[in-house]
Structure 1
Amino acid sequence: MGAQDDIAISVRGLTKEFDGRRVVDGFDMEVKRGAIYGFLGPNGSGKTTTIRMMCGLLTADGGEGQCLGFDIRRQSREIKKRVGYMTQRFSLYEDLTIRENLDFTARMFGMPKRRERVREAIADLGLSGREGQLAGTLSGGWKQRLALASCMIHAPQLLLLDEPTAGVDPKARRDFWDEIRRLSARGVTVLVSTHYMDEAVQCDHIAYIAYGKKLIDGVASEIPQTLGLSTYVVTGGELTPLEERLKADGRAGQVIRFGDKLHVSGTDRAALVALAQEEGRRKTHVWTERDAGLEEAFIYLMAGASDNFGAQEGAS
């Protein structure tokens, strides 16, 4: 397989406007086949709009690119045949059973050996024994499984997930991501739109998007180091007065409260070390240096991004 064959999506300069406002601005991206790629950003940042344009599901106002070897402008129909799309809201028929919903989706895609494929989908995602249950009576986690089975029924090469685990319990989220990693190992490329950190850490690569612009992208574990962030975790004593004092101190780039801890981060490590040593001499709190995480990186990037158009409904 050549280097180009290893690329599932390659886009350049994607731009989109709604009501005269630019919600995606000059977006460039390459996504490797089989990767789990997270698009991280606040609501209204343009994540979903960007993903839809990258996959030919929404026509860009500017820019160009290929998805699964097809031109995103001229061959969107071919791309759609090879894409599974799971929306945030449960979009299947609640008055149909699990089997009936999957059979309906298989009919829509004109699947050969439809009944056999439905049986396989039910077994693959652990729905056996529930196939006669009405979709509307399922819990959030089981609805999620059904939605995933439905969008994978035609064996797509590319899977789009829009806030996929909103409203489900921790075990269901864990089971869901186990399944996503299994699909990725089989060569399915996965794009995930999210603003949750526990979603982001499941991804191989991440792109941070704010107000229509890509701020940074890369290997998830390397993003904080790429930004040059240093972090201290502070524990002990009453945190509120310390938090207020640190926020007024220019050496503390950002101060984030996590329950009974403060995370103090910045790009000037020397200044941060000096601050930690000075505060440590007070002996009121314990300062422990640790690697910066995705959440510190996210907040750091958002603080430096300017809202040039305002969050728009439907432009997430």
Structure 2
Amino acid sequence: MSIQVNNLTKSYGRQKALASINFKTQSNHIIGFLGPNGAGKSTTMKILAGILPFDQGECTINGINIKLDPLKAKKRIGYLPENNPLYQEMYLQEILAFEARLHQIPNSLHRIQEVISLTGLSTEQHKKASQLSKGYRQRVGIAMAIIHDPQILILDEPTSGLDPNQILEIRTLIKTLSTNKTVLLSTHIMQEVEALCDEIIVLHKGIVKDHFLKSEAAVKFPNQNMEEIFVELTKN
């Protein structure tokens, strides 16, 4: 259950967002996808989720080429964008039922209850999206992303704007989900990388600056914490 990117290039007019980037993730890892604002993280994630076209290169999800077989690839992907879009006047169960229909999930009522329980939404399941706190709205977004049990989960800053308790709860949920999924996670919180990630990719100005296992960090970057490593790789 891996993601592979080869010579991926994307430009917005004259602005090159991604300059022929390459990486391959390992299976069932949480991959920290790091970089300053404007590095190209969200662009890459949207491309991998199959919602943004790219100029050149190749992206595969578990060996499935996104460009050649987009529907098959998308069935294996769950995506939570940075700005979590929810239907504010719909009840939580309605949102998940709608998402289940889109994915043509058999026995959807059972799967909806399973996902509600997994994401810790049981006490909130009879509320509208507009009545939920931001932490619970993020949980709904994750529930929508996993309703079809994808093998790859792409999460764009899932803890942004949450309070410390909510952050810890979402981290625990992500850790639970990673037992049978590969999770690509973008974040600006280096403590989150330390707490969650098995693998780290650092992107800067549309270029992969480094890609390493967190277990190798102490040898590769002696006497440096994750924040110092990030600054070193993105200072120029």
TM range (shorter): over 0.9
For 2:191, the equivalent position in structure 1 comes to 198
Letter in 2 for 1:198: Q
1: CA distance between counterparts of 2:16 and 2:121?
43
Greater mean alpha carbon deviation, residues 156-165 or residues 48-57:
48-57
Answer whether contact 2:45 2:156 (CA < 8 A) is retained: no
SS in 2 for 1:178: helix
1:296 aligned to which of 199, 206, 228 = 228
2: CA distance between counterparts of 1:226 and 1:292?
9
SS in 1 for 2:209: strand
| Structure 1, unpaired ranges of 5+ | 1-6, 230-290, 306-316
2: CA distance between counterparts of 1:49 and 1:197?
21
2: CA distance between counterparts of 1:190 and 1:34?
7
Deviations 1:165-213 (A, max 9, x none): 011111211111111111111x211111222212322211111111000
Answer whether contact 2:49 2:78 (CA < 8 A) is retained: no
1: CA distance between counterparts of 2:21 and 2:219?
23
TM-superposed CA distance for 1:132, in Å, is 0.9
2: CA distance between counterparts of 1:192 and 1:99?
26
2: CA distance between counterparts of 1:190 and 1:29?
15
2: CA distance between counterparts of 1:38 and 1:76?
24
Deviations 1:10-61 (A, max 9, x none): 2211111111221101111111221111110111110111233345443321
1:168 aligned to which of 152, 162, 173 = 162
Superposition TM-score, scaled by structure 1 size: 0.70
Letter in 1 for 2:30: I
Tell me: higher relative CO, structure 1 or 2? Use CA pairs within 8 A at least 6 residues apart: 2
Q: How many residue pairs are counted as aligned between the two chains?
A: 235
Structure with the greater alpha carbon radius of gyration: 1
Deviations 1:66-102 (A, max 9, x none): 2122112211221112211111223111111111111
SS in 1 for 2:4: strand
1:140 aligned to which of 134, 144, 147 = 134
Answer whether contact 2:49 2:154 (CA < 8 A) is retained: no
Identity percentage of aligned residues: 36
TM-superposed CA distance for 1:294, in Å, is 0.7
Letter in 2 for 1:67: I
Letter in 2 for 1:94: Q
Superposition TM-score, scaled by structure 2 size: 0.93
1:10 aligned to which of 4, 10, 15 = 4
2: CA distance between counterparts of 1:55 and 1:92?
18
Give RMSD over aligned pairs: 1.6
Greater mean alpha carbon deviation, residues 57-66 or residues 14-23:
57-66
